Structure 1
Amino acid sequence: MNSTMQKISIEKVKESKIDQVDFNNLAFGSVFTDHMLVCDYKNGAWETPKVVPYQPISLDPSAKIFHYGQSIFEGMKAYKDTDEKVWLFRPLDNHKRLNISAKRMSIPEIPEEFFMEGLKTLLEVEDKWIPQTEGSSMYIRPFMFASGNGFHASPANAYKFMICLAPSGAYFSGKVKVLIEEKYSRSANGGVGYAKTGGNYAGQFYPTQLAVEKGYNQVIWTDDHSHEYIEEAGAMNIFIRINDTLITGPTSDRILDGITRKSILQLAEKKGIATEVRKITVTEVVEAAKNGSLKEMFGAGTAAVVSPISAFGYRDVDYDLPELEDSYASQIKKDITDIQYNRSEDPFGWRVGL
């Protein structure tokens, strides 16, 4: 640790609650570890992070997070291999994206050292909480929000950066049936769609609820202007396989620069799978479904890595996708998770040991 940050203080709990946790039945993101990381921004500077017992946060009712939505987050994981060594997957990409989100939401950027040393210190304290059962991992939620007070519509003068940990079991989404959305939009040009800010997700809940009421699991988002171009799958990036080519839309103001998305593109290229990063129309996907050239669609994100889509609905017609034995989705998921759990070589330098 260099001299720009003092040593991180650690306040441990008097008694761990780890014995109360059934590690064989961990729901995603619902059980939390004994400790969390807290770092305050005051008087124009970030203070040294602290590891403290997991506990409620006390905020003034006028804290700007409640009124103007200055809130951002990241999603990442830690993995424990068979030798009980702990690994992170592309953590510097998460740090970089957090700061991209921070800049867009007028939140002070967090220094890399504060993020990485804070995360590693917290994970070392909570090492026993990192599950080792097949498919399980430690879900990591770094987040930042406006803690400064005032009803005036302007950026806050104080912020909190925190990291909380949730040991989670294998994430199986099952067969996902999606509805292509033509009325509501996730984001717009010049907006905040590329930032991981809470309001983006809050705005998705209502249209998704309407889709669920119609018998679908999730929504496929299209562009805000014409609703002709496919953009994201719920809270995930989307990949579409037509014949043997894997296609995904380009990142933009509207589309999140997903770390799993980037990894899939690099991995597919190394495997010799043809990829295209381009706009893809709903019409092209519907035509491919009709003529049999549409082979796969899947979401890509941290929680599930890949989430295969079994069918999609568009204008009152449902289109089923074929069930493939050796799908690109299954191949890619295995390759990525083998790297994450240190079961294979990592030719990309994605894996970072604690």
Structure 2
Amino acid sequence: MTAFGSVFMPEMALTRFDGEQWSNFEMVASDSISLHPGAHVLHYASTCFEGLKAFRHSDGSVKIFRMDCNIDRFDQSTELLALPSIDREQTRTMIMEVVKRFASEVPEVPGSLYIRPTHIGTEPAIGKAAAPSSTSLQYVLVSPVGDYFAGGADTTLRLLLEEDGLRCSPHMGRIKSGGNYASALFPTLAAKRDLQVDQILFCPNGDVQETGAANFLLIDGDTLITKALDDSFLHGITRNSILTLARDLGMTVEERQLSVDELLERSQKPGCEAALSGTAAVLTPVGTLLHQGREYQVGNGKAGATTSKLRTALNDIQWGLAEDKHDWLTSVSS
């Protein structure tokens, strides 16, 4: 089976900032870029990216899900990393054009075309450890994908609750930057090897936050609980979509601090469910929590009915099977 996100379309959209202005974007081969070995990104991690999807509907049309929200977050990450400001309209056009170019390659549902806008600092200046890159490169890659987790919606994950470590520096959490993912990689690999878990749920000082690549949601009956937005974790667009759909279904949504103690207590209730949300993960159920050497089964340990209902509600909009009441889809003209 081909790994998620490892197959790319042969071209991508690319533009360069020369210190004063962005160039007109062009479609170029997607198998390489040219960088000076002293490029700022290679030494000081001046990089951010986004992840969004385009879906093929039954009438043959292609729709991009919540593109404008991803551009908003891309712009925010760029600003917080002190990279040159993006041209939002050009970024939007680049996304539309590369999806249009490969519209025929968008898989049938449940597959999708994963879209990866990326922004990196390119100035060759290794003396700029405490200064931003004056030049940069922006490109948009696309990759046809299936499910992120093997087994799809029926998979239940094992999570290690980590109360001592952090996924990333607290003030960096809402930035979608490669360094944040890298900082979570070593402990996650160790936990997978030693404890046979799928992910670490980072809970510094008992505060339930997120895993290395997804937001965390707890469902107790008709109540959905998740951490309130702050700088310490990524403000997921799938998370926001799921919360909106939960409210549409009449559920109570609580965005607040959730402690490890409360999580473990609620998880033992028969109807309790937990899930990870993200563009790649969509909404993947959690069946087991591992804390201080003890395993806690979440509810009955299987994929729950409410998690399934919320995932279906989201997919139905993405796939064109339900009305797009919130105007989340953007059409790609042929």
Give distance in 2, aligned partners of 1:66 and 1:204. 19
Assess if the C-alpha contact under 8 Å between 1:188 and 1:253 holds in 2. no
- The one of 142, 161, 178 equivalent to 1:180 is 161
**2:218: which partner in 1?**
240
Distance 1:293 1:170 in 2: 28
Q: Is the 8 A contact 1:249 1:277 kept in 2?
A: yes
Output aligned runs, 1:18-97, within 5 Å: 26-97=2-73
Structure 1 residues without counterparts, runs of 5 or longer: 1-24
CA contact (8 A) 2:48 2:178 kept: yes
1:144 and 2:144 matched: no
Bigger CA drift: 65-74 or 323-332?
323-332
Deviation at 1:109, TM superposition (A): 2.2
Aligned-pair distance for 1:183? 2.2
Q: Post-superposition, which runs of at least 4 consecutive aligned residues in structure 1 deviate over 6 A?
A: none
Q: Higher Cα Rg: structure 1 or 2?
A: 1
CA contact (8 A) 1:311 1:320 kept: yes
Paired residue for 2:274, among 267, 292, 297?
A: 297
Task: State the partner residue of 1:155.
Answer: 132
Instruction: Supply the distance in 2 between the matched residues of 1:269 and 1:49 (Cα, whole angstroms).
Output: 40
**For residues 282 and 229 of structure 2, what CA distance do their matches in structure 1 show?**
18
Which residue does 2:197 correspond to in 1? 216
Q: Which amino acid aligns with 2:165?
A: Y
Query: 1:72, 1:102 within 8 Å by CA — same for their partners in 2?
Result: yes
Query: Shift of residue 186 of structure 1?
Result: 1.2
8 Å CA contact 1:26, 1:169 repeated in 2: no
In structure 1, C-alpha distance between the alignment counterparts of 2:59 and 2:10, rounded to whole Å: 24
Q: Secondary structure at the match of 2:265?
A: helix
C-alpha deviations, 1:33-77, integer Å up to 9, x for none?
Answer: 021011100032111111112231111111111110000000001
2:110 to 99, 121, 135: 135
> How much does 1:241 deviate?
1.4
The answer (yes or no) to whether the contact 2:168–2:184 under 8 Å persists in 1 is no
TM-score between the two structures when normalised by the length of structure 1: 0.88
**CA distance in 1 between partners of 2:288 and 2:266 (Å):** 13
Q: Which amino acid aligns with 1:185?
A: L
TM-fit CA distance, 1:157: 1.6
Counterpart Cα distance in 1 of 2:229 and 2:191: 25
Distance 2:76 2:180 in 1: 15
Report the CA distance shift for 1:245/1:72 in structure 2 as closer, same or farther (over 3 A): same
Map Cα deviations across residues 253-311 of structure 1 (whole Å, 9 max, x no partner): 10111100111111100101111111010011122234x26611101000121011010
Secondary structure in structure 2 of the residue aligned to 1:33:
coil
Cα offset for 1:319? 0.4
Residue-by-residue CA offset, 1:87-144 (whole Å, 9 max, x unaligned): 0111000000001100110012212211111111111111222112x31100111010
Q: CA RMSD in A?
A: 1.5
Q: Distance in 2 between matches of 1:340 and 1:162?
A: 24
Please name the residue that 1:5 is paired with. none
Q: Does 1:167 align with 2:144?
A: yes
| TM norm structure 2 | 0.93
- Separation of aligned partners in 2, 1:303 and 1:229: 24
Amino acid in structure 1 at the alignment position of 2:186: Y
Q: Percent identity?
A: 31
Number of residue pairs aligned between Structure 1 and Structure 2: 324
What secondary structure sits across from 2:206 in the alignment? Answer: coil
Distance across 1 between alignment mates of 2:226 and 2:303: 22
Contact persistence 2:162–2:201 (CA under 8 A): yes
Paired residue type of 1:301: G
Greater displacement, 160-169 / 50-59: 50-59
Answer yes or no: is the 8 Å Cα contact 1:26–1:167 preserved in 2. Answer: no
Contact 1:243/1:293 (<8 A) preserved: no
Say which of 176, 181, 203 aligns to 1:201.
Answer: 181
Asked whether the 8 Å contact 1:288–1:294 carries over to 2, the reply is no
2:255 matched to 1:277?
yes
The structure-2 alpha-carbon separation of the partners of 1:334 and 1:193, relative to structure 1 and needing over 3 Å to count, comes to same
SS at match of 1:77: strand
Q: Deviation of residue 182 (structure 1)?
A: 2.0
Aligned twin of 2:244: 266
Task: Find the aligned partners of 1:207 and 1:324 in 2 and give their Cα distance.
Answer: 26
Q: Please list every run of 5 or more consecutive structure 2 residues that lacks an aligned counterpart in the other structure.
A: none
- Indicate conservation of the 8 Å contact 2:214/2:281, yes or no: no
Question: Separation in 2 of the partners of 1:181 and 1:77?
Answer: 31
- Contact 1:27/1:169, CA 8 A, preserved across alignment: no
